[in-house]
Chains A and B, each alone.
Chain A
Amino acid sequence: MSAGENPVVLGTGLTKIGRRWEDSLSDLFAEAARQAVEEAGINPQALFLGNMSAGVLDSQEHLALSVEDGASVFPLVPAFKVESACSSGGSALVAGYMAVKSGVYDAVLVAGVEKLSEEPSDAVTSALAMAADSDFEAYYGASFTSLNALLMRSYMRDYDVPRSWLSEIAVLMHKNALDNPYAQLRKAIKVEDVENSRLIADPIRLLDCAPTGDGAAALLLAKPELAKGVDPLVELSGVGVGVDTIAVNGRSSLSDVPATARAAKAAFSAAGVDPKDLDVLEVHDAFTIMAALAVEDIGVVPKGQGAKFFHEGSAERDGELAVNPEGGLKARGHPVGATGVYGAVEVVRQLQGKSGKMQVPNAEVGAFHNLGGSGSHAVVGVFKRRK
């Protein structure tokens, strides 16, 4: 994608993720949106909102306008819900990017919101399984976790990866989240904790999984002329989307996610950067296996080397490339439709030098990765600090 100038980020907002019993979807959205809009000092001309399951879990469709009205943080503007399962937030950012870069709008709010605490866990499991093919996967008892488990088993076999290397990814994410005030799980864990935790869908155990929680994230994107005296200024330099079959059985390999590779290639090409240029990377580790696959498919390491990359410490904050320095989905939390926007905001704050104890020194180029379905829909976005 080219055409106009790259949009810049004028404001960001996050809520703490967790069981937010007291807060509605509108309340969560309001909390994140207000931070982003106040920091920007301008109101958006449109809203692009990522969300997956408000209809089935919260009895609310027409969601983008509903939360905009319910929150009333800024005057009502055209509002669009963008949905692509767990990558809904990333897709909302792509829509916002296109809206500003094309010149249709000067400033838009990209946000994501999800509430998973409203219903009991079997209902949430069923709602999340709607990311899969309802007729030929969910019909036959698939849970979202079980589909990812098929990939984990296949990956460990194909590349002879020890179980403990994947457990170590969870350990690192929990360690990183200790410093994150927005994180849902701020608790250190050990490899044994992961490997003794309850089996959810063998070989995936409870502590391989991101928790389900409520949260919202927001980011105000604008054309560069509106950034007066903003320093440091961060731009969204490129986005890419990659897709694959909705069902896992439609793919020839279960040991990689080609959709991620396609998204990364498009995003890096648009941004004019190489994976080697990255200072920070946020990957979609809804399950530990997905973090290992992501660094491979994004091109940070060759195929089969992803789990090893984490095992050798290369993904730590002071490692070769900091991956999920805020704790990732695994420990920061995974409010599904908001997750992609969390990743984007975390990268932006790193490039602005605003990440506190989680800060990666001198981060200038960063990317986020957001995955929907069991590898069906991937979004990658590249941000750069403007010189």
Chain B
Amino acid sequence: MTVPKYWRKIDAHYRLEGIRCKSCGKISYPPRSSCPYCHSKDVEVVKLPERGKVVSFSLLRSPPKGFEGYVPYYVAVIELENGVRVFGMLTDVFSPDGVKEGTPVEAVFRKISEDGDEGLIHYGVKFRPIG
């Protein structure tokens, strides 16, 4: 991934941002310049809730490049407290039965991947089970 491609999305990745449409009121993720529901360009960036629950998940064992070191790792669709859904990795899952559909999770800031020895280190939000 190039530096500009990464840097353009830093706020969204680091702060878990979405947009709120001032026209129809809906909140969506990821941030776009127009509302995906009503297509108004009158949108503002908002911080999304940091808590939610697992909608569906997979324990991934055959990874894409750059993720070999995490195998096996969980990916999931998370429904945040305001109903907005995001895709992300789960972390700090210490029990083999630690994740189920409906498991409550919270966002934590983590390293996501590295572009080789001399490349960028990518950061962002992962989700960990609560309690």
Asked if A140 lies at the interface with its beta carbon under 8 angstroms from chain B, I say: yes
Alpha-carbon distance between A246 and B87 when the two chains are bound, in angstroms? 12
Alpha-carbon distance between A200 and B29 when the two chains are bound, in angstroms? 28
Tally chain B residues at the interface, Cβ within 8 Å. Answer: 39
Alpha-carbon distance between A141 and B62 when the two chains are bound, in angstroms? 10
A201: B residues at CB distance < 8 A: 58-62, 75
Whether B58 lies near A125 (C-beta < 8 A) is no
- The B-contacting residues of A in range 135-163, CB under 8 angstroms, are 135-143, 145-147, 149-151, 153-154, 157
Alpha-carbon distance between A133 and B86 when the two chains are bound, in angstroms? 12
B36: A residues at CB distance < 8 A: 245, 250
Q: Which residue of B lies closest to A254 (CB)?
A: B56
When the two chains form the complex, which single residue of A126, A129, A142, A254 contacts B55, counting CB atoms closer than 8 Å? A254
A146: B residues at CB distance < 8 A: 58, 60, 75
When the two chains form the complex, which single residue of A142, A149, A200 contacts B87, counting CB atoms closer than 8 Å? A142
Would you give the shortest CB distance from B116 to chain A, in whole angstroms?
Answer: 13
- The A-contacting residues of B in range 79-131, CB under 8 angstroms, are 85-89, 101, 112-113, 122, 124, 126
A203: B residues at CB distance < 8 A: 58
Whether B70 lies near A141 (C-beta < 8 A) is yes
Alpha-carbon distance between A121 and B61 when the two chains are bound, in angstroms? 13
Would you give the shortest CB distance from B62 to chain A, in whole angstroms?
Answer: 5
Asked if B13 lies at the interface with its beta carbon under 8 angstroms from chain A, I say: yes
Alpha-carbon distance between A133 and B58 when the two chains are bound, in angstroms? 17
B1: A residues at CB distance < 8 A: 134, 139
Chain A interface (Cβ within 8 Å of chain B)?
Answer: 121-123, 125-126, 129, 133-143, 145-147, 149-151, 153-154, 157, 198-204, 245, 247-250, 254
Chain B interface (Cβ within 8 Å of chain A)?
Answer: 1, 5, 9, 12-13, 29-30, 36, 55-68, 70, 73, 75-78, 85-89, 101, 112-113, 122, 124, 126
